[in-house]
Amino acid sequence: MTKFKTALVTGANRGIGLETVRQLAIKGIHVFATVRSLSSAEQLHKLIEQGLSVTVVQLDVCSQESVDTLAARLLSEHVKIDILINNAGVALDQWVPALELDIDLWRQTMEVNLYGALRLCQAFIPAMIADGSGRIVNVSSELGSLQDVQLGSTLAYRSSKTALNSLTALLACELKVYPDILVNASCPGWVKTALGGDDAPLSVAEGADTTVWLATLASGQSGGLYRERKIWPW
Ligand SMILES: NC(=O)c1ccc[n+]([C@@H]2O[C@H](COP(=O)([O-])OP(=O)(O)OC[C@H]3O[C@@H](n4cnc5c(N)ncnc54)[C@H](OP(=O)(O)O)[C@@H]3O)[C@@H](O)[C@H]2O)c1
């Protein structure tokens, strides 16, 4: 059982985001599942048909107008988001060496993976501050860790996740005065999705586990990066 009633998950139409919605809804949380295109929400509608409490809403995390529209709608419906999961992500530069990286590709990656998460935090954390309670999980990656940098040529993706980790740590610090607002980042591991590819060893259920665990913590740690429910080095 969790004390939280509502969650918002970005990038919820497929992959780890879709599974995160399912796992949260099974715990009795009403989930606002955001999708870039409403026509891509078939899997979410199947969850609703199965009786899970899910509302599908349109959101492009790259558009401030889109974020503001959603925040205004939820405010007008007196909905306070208890759990924010910044899951939407892109990996556009797989196998591109740093010296050949198109800077526009880097910008596009930052737009989704970093600025998108910040937009959502700015839109939804103020209401958490108002009632002194909330959980924020930024879905990051081991590739964002600077602990053991290895060859792999994904500078845009990696640095966007490193910056997302930095946002997580700093936000946790700024929000320390609110002990029941926890901000953490999760590493899903290498997961079989469109982004992870078919060779990935983990299922979406395994990939969503740490995110859902952090999202529903009764109390505890803030400002960490976690993988398999254990702290992971920045
Ligand atoms: N899979 C892995 O091995 C792995 C490993 C480490 C971390 N992660 C992280 O886990 C998260 C989910 O990845 P995944 O593997 O589930 O990838 P995925 O299947 O490719 O799903 C990515 C999701 O992000 C959404 N998205 C992309 N751009 C968006 C935008 N501008 N606005 C709103 N939504 C947008 C996509 O929506 P559309 O369908 O509309 O494109 C889709 O729902 C990402 O942050 C990723 O970096 C994944």
**Which of 65, 193, 210, 212 is the pocket-test mutation for ligand 1 (most atoms within 8 Å of CB)?**
193
Q: Which ligand 1 atom sits nearest the alpha carbon of residue 91?
A: 47
pLDDT (0 to 100) of residue 153: 75
Residue 188 Cβ contacting ligand 1 at under 6 Å: yes
Task: Give the DSSP letter string of 160-189.
Answer: HHHHHHHHHHHHHHHTTTSTTEEEEEEE--
Residue 227 Cβ contacting ligand 1 at under 6 Å: no
Question: One digit per residue, pLDDT tens: the chain, 234 residues?
Answer: 678 999 999 999 999 999 999 999 999 999 999 999 999 999 999 999 999 999 999 999 999 999 999 999 999 999 999 999 999 999 999 888 999 999 999 999 999 999 999 999 999 999 999 999 999 999 999 999 998 777 777 999 999 999 999 999 999 999 999 999 999 999 999 999 999 999 999 999 999 999 999 999 999 899 999 999 999 999
Q: Which CATH class is domain 6-231?
A: alpha beta
The structure tokens 């949260």 sit at 24
pLDDT (0 to 100) of residue 1: 65
Q: Which ligand 1 atom sits nearest the alpha carbon of residue 63?
A: 31
Domain boundaries, the chain: 6-231
Residue 157: active-site member: yes
Q: Is the dihedral of CA 188, 194, 195, 198 positive or negative?
A: positive
Torsion angle, alpha carbons of 59, 64, 65, 69, to 10 = 60
For ligand 1, atom 7, name the residue with the nearest CA.
Answer: 141
For ligand 1, atom 21, name the residue with the nearest CA.
Answer: 15
pLDDT (0 to 100) of residue 3: 86
Beta strands in 77-180 (DSSP E): 83-86, 134-139
Structure tokens at 200: 């990935």
**Which of 10, 56, 195 is the pocket-test mutation for ligand 1 (most atoms within 8 Å of CB)?**
195
CA–centroid distance, residue 177 to ligand 1 (Å): 32
| CA proximity to 91, closest of 200, 216, 210 | 200
Amino acid identity of residue 43, one-letter, is Q
CA–centroid distance, residue 92 to ligand 1 (Å): 11
Burial of residue 55 (number of CB atoms within 10 Å: 0-12, 13-18, 19+): middle
CA–centroid distance, residue 57 to ligand 1 (Å): 16
